Structure 1
Amino acid sequence: MQPLFKVVSRNTIRKDILLMHSAQKEKMVKYLANFKQRVAVTSDLWTAGHQKKGYMVVTAHFIDESFNLKSIILRFAYVPAPHNGEVICQALHECLLDWHLERKLSTVTLDNCTTNDKAIDILIDKLDTKSLMLEGKYLHMRCCAHILNLIVKDGMSVMEKGIARVRDSVAFW
């Protein structure tokens, strides 16, 4: 609309965003290095249906000096297939090392599946258990929302025939 406005290229925008990200990450790594409290980590892995590629997000949660809950996305990354315990553990461990959080963990919350159980077993072997609370006994927390979702799906599958019959009778009348 403004003829004097000079449009920048997508490469310039990309470079600026990456520079801003690097500066903010460096600032947060320094902040967390001086942070004395523990950090809870959550992670989720999903496959993009149209791409058939897996992605993982890792988020850190902590309470700051003013008693405010803070959450920081540490990593959003492509995770190559197969999504077994070793691959998930490697991606999570690299993220923890990158942010220097391997000695400040309180819990790691993941979906309730056997692959994640295996990933946590491998992760505990890679970490210094003396730096973990209760030597890592309660490091793995299972996501309650995921468990509730599985329960509701099971309940709905039991009621599926009944719901179809009610719908058919309503449509008939």
Structure 2
Amino acid sequence: MIAVDMTLPLCFVEGEGFLQFMKTVCPEYTTPSRTVILNRLNHDFVKKEIVSVLKNFPFVSITTDAWLSLSTKSYMTINVHAIDELYNLRSFTLDTIEMPESHTAINIHNRLSQSLKEWGIFDKVGVVHDNAANMVAAMRLDSSEYP
């Protein structure tokens, strides 16, 4: 469910509501922890599957945001979106990257560029972001790199 839908964090399986739901649906089942699920997911296999799907799209859009967690750790998430030939929206979360460095335009630009290159979509991306000054500046650093 988590690998296919890519819309829920792994900690979802440890939430009180989900655990109650599982007890109701299948009381004899022991719900695995997020660590067990992470170990069971073959990240490389899932990544290859997503890369294979993304190769079918001439252009994709990404949405991105950076934030501070409650424990004051800094992160940036990158999601990719594309519409297939049947007009179905396909979306995947590519990365949630810990970003201990400052959220300056150059740092955002570098992290974003690195991730997009790793996923093989660097040359076919349009970016949707909030209007924060650092995000706007990051996208303008080398406008030739972003179509």
Tell me whether the two structures share a fold, i.e. TM-score over 0.5.
yes
Structure 1: where are the runs of 5+ without partners? 133-173
Distance 2:33 2:51 in 1: 30
Q: Which amino acid aligns with 2:40?
A: D
Q: State the TM-score, normalized to the length of structure 1.
A: 0.60
List runs of 5+ in structure 2 lacking aligned partners.
1-26
Distance, in Å, in 1 between the alignment partners of 2:65 and 2:34 is 30
Alpha-carbon contact 2:76-2:97 (below 8 Å) kept: yes
- 3-state SS of paired residue (1:66): coil
Counterparts in 2 of 1:81-96, with a 5 A limit?
81-96=101-116
Q: 1:47 matched to which residue of 2?
A: 68
1:109 correspondence with 2:133: no
Q: Which residue of 1 aligns with 2:40?
A: 16
Identity score, percent: 27
| Cα shift at 1:69 | 1.1
Distance in 2 between residues matched to 1:109 and 1:9, nearest whole Å: 34
1:98 aligns with 2:118: yes
Q: How many pairs were matched up?
A: 121
CA distance 1:38–1:52, shift in 2 (3 Å): same
RMSD across aligned positions (CA)? 2.5
Of Structure 1 and Structure 2, which has the larger fraction of its residues in helix?
Answer: 1
Q: Secondary structure at the match of 2:123?
A: coil
Partner of residue 27, structure 1: 49
Q: Which has the higher contact order (CA 8 A, sep 6+)?
A: 2
User: Could you say if the C-alpha distance between residues 11 and 40 of structure 1 is closer, same or farther in structure 2, counting changes exceeding 3 Å?
Assistant: closer
TM-score (norm 2): 0.70
Secondary structure of the corresponding residue to residue 81 of structure 1: coil
Question: 2: distance between equivalents of 1:104 and 1:93?
Answer: 12
Given that 1:93 and 1:123 are in contact with CA atoms closer than 8 Å, whether structure 2 keeps it comes out as no
Match of 1:37?
58
Is the 2:57–2:82 contact (alpha carbons within 8 Å) kept by the matching residues of 1? no
Question: Offset of 1:11 from its aligned partner?
Answer: 6.0
1:33-76 C-alpha deviation (Å, 9 max, x unpaired):
2x24310111011111x322111111111101221111111111
